[in-house]
Amino acid sequence: VVISHGARRVVVVGADAAGMSAAHQALRTARARGTELAVTVLESGRDTSYSACGIPYWVAGDVAAEDDLVARTAGEHRAAGIDLRLGTTAVELDLTAREVATDAGDRVPFDDVVLATGAAPIVPDWALDPAGRPVPGVRAVKTLDDGRAWIDLLGVRDPAPRRAVVVGGGYIGLEMAEAFARRGLDTTIVTRGELMSSLDPDMGARLREHVVKSGVAVHCQDLVDGVVTGVDGAVRAVTAGGREIAADVVALGAGVRPQSELGAAAGLPLGRVGGYLPDPQQRVADGVWAAGDCIEPVTRTHGNRVFVPLGTHAVKQGRVAGTVLAGGDARFDGVIGTAVTRFVVGDVHVEVGRTGPTARQLAGLGVEVDSLVTESTTASGYMPEAAPIAVKVTAATAGPERGRLLAVQIVGGPGSAKRIDTAAAAIWFGATVADVTGMDLSYAPPFSPTWDPVQIACRRLADRL
């Protein structure tokens, strides 16, 4: 890497989705503007630009090798001109001296610093032994190291594990349950509320019906509060509400929290769950930027801060930070919480899509709404591929926003989930349910009934309002 004297110095902390998007976008923007940047990226782990999202599918056996999950290797980043330092943890952010101190004892000076340190899985006390080490067989799902450990736990251990417990019924829990069940393990999900708390409970219950049909047990309204270990110290069971559930392995999917210690110690303000609070250009202080799972972005619809740690946001926020710090113009226009997942085990294939606030969040915001659920099919009813699909739509019922589409949730068979993007686009651009009713959406028998299921639901709600 040739760095000429006087190049603006950018330090990025964290070399995954948000950090590497910011680093490359900064270089692209600087090149387009004919300026020069020296970009250093500090990463505590040994992996960069990997798809955490693909780990459950790797564990399930759908993805053959971990290399398949790496979008860009360290070598490719370095070839692009980035000074990438793996195995290097940033331990202090000095906003006065404008330096980042590392665990290697270096002090790396910067003109701009991008905080892209992600989120850490929540590890309950019971998941650790008295010395603070993880109980063997109990593990989170976050990094490629976790993925490797899961492959080892399931494939190498003798006798092979037979029973799995998944703690948490969010999408990571659901995807890990899918992986365990597909590998033939007796699988139980234990979750505090209904499955998928990002859905309204009625839609979560629909999802649960499908999951239970596959043979995976779901214990709702239960809190895992302890672990039973054998003489070898490895997990044998978890306890929940006085009950024991046998387990040879336990996956932790009980949520994540922003890793914002660096900025917190430097005096940067944090939000309700401890995330950074950037402006629409991802700036948290002069020359300090934050992006990805370590922030609390605002919602596009209501402007309130939320914590929605998703890769789809991380890359966009990183891109905005990289563009702006290099002198370009960009803004992040908020989140509406669009997300999809699936659960495919044996004959069961259920997909989930959601966008917009939940009923509970809308109540918290004081928004008056009406909603309804429509049952339809993913293709014309006479086609062999037609599968059931339930679409819940929610619209505002009061004030100038009356009729405005606020949220859509989908639970259905193959071909259901990505229909959420139609709804997300409509919400993004402020459409009413009546607007969606008239949208020019596609139709042919293998793909949809004459009226698209999202459109049917909006039409019915528009008629009722």
Residues engaged in binding ligand FAD (CB under 6 A)? 13-19, 42-45, 52-53, 55-56, 89-90, 116-119, 141-142, 172, 259, 262, 292-293, 309-312, 314
Q: Which is nearer to ligand FAD, 53 or 425 (CB)?
A: 53
Q: Is the Cβ–Cβ distance between 342 and 413 less than 8 Å?
A: no
Q: Mind telling me the catalytic residues?
A: 53
Residue 198 CA from chain centroid, whole number: 11
Q: Write the DSSP symbol of residue 6.
A: T
Q: CB within 8 A of 156, min separation 6: which ones?
A: none
Strand order through the sheet with 217-219:
138-140, 249-252, 163-167, 186-190, 217-219
Q: Which is nearer to ligand FAD, 112 or 293 (CB)?
A: 293
DSSP 405-450: EEEEEEEESTT-GGGHHHHHHHHHTT-BHHHHHT------TTT--S
Residue 80 Cβ, how far from ligand FAD at the closest point, in Å? 17
Residue 312 Cβ, how far from ligand FAD at the closest point, in Å? 4
Q: Which is nearer to ligand FAD, 19 or 297 (CB)?
A: 19
Q: CB within 8 A of 65, min separation 6: which ones?
A: none
Q: CB 15: neighbour CB atoms within 10 A?
A: 27
Six token digits for residue 289: 């930027």
Residue 83 Cβ, how far from ligand FAD at the closest point, in Å? 14
Q: Which is nearer to ligand FAD, 150 or 459 (CB)?
A: 150
Residue 251 Cβ, how far from ligand FAD at the closest point, in Å? 10
Q: Is the Cβ–Cβ distance between 77 and 43 less than 8 Å?
A: no
Residue 383 Cβ, how far from ligand FAD at the closest point, in Å? 28
At how many degrees (to 10) do helices 453-464 and 420-428 cross?
A: 50
Nearest alpha carbon to residue 423 among 410, 412, 411: 410
Q: Which is nearer to ligand FAD, 229 or 312 (CB)?
A: 312
Residue 433 Cβ, how far from ligand FAD at the closest point, in Å? 27
Q: Which letter, b or e, does each residue of 108-118 get, where b requires 16 or more Cβ atoms within 10 Å of its Cβ? A: bebebbbbbbb
Residue 67 Cβ, how far from ligand FAD at the closest point, in Å? 17
Q: Which is nearer to ligand FAD, 134 or 445 (CB)?
A: 134
Q: Cα separations (Å) of 223 from 173, 194, 238, 245?
A: 14, 12, 10, 12
Residue 13 Cβ, how far from ligand FAD at the closest point, in Å? 5
Torsion, CA 281, CA 287, CA 293, CA 298, rounded to 10: -30
Q: Which is nearer to ligand FAD, 262 or 406 (CB)?
A: 262
Tell which phi-psi region holds residue 105, choosing left (phi > 0), alpha (psi between -120 and 50) or beta: left
Nearest alpha carbon to residue 177 among 59, 33, 314: 59
Q: Which is nearer to ligand FAD, 89 or 197 (CB)?
A: 89
Q: Write the DSSP symbol of residue 126.
A: G
Question: Within 214-371, where are the H helices?
Answer: 261-265, 311-325, 359-364
Q: Is the Cβ–Cβ distance between 173 and 250 less than 8 Å?
A: no
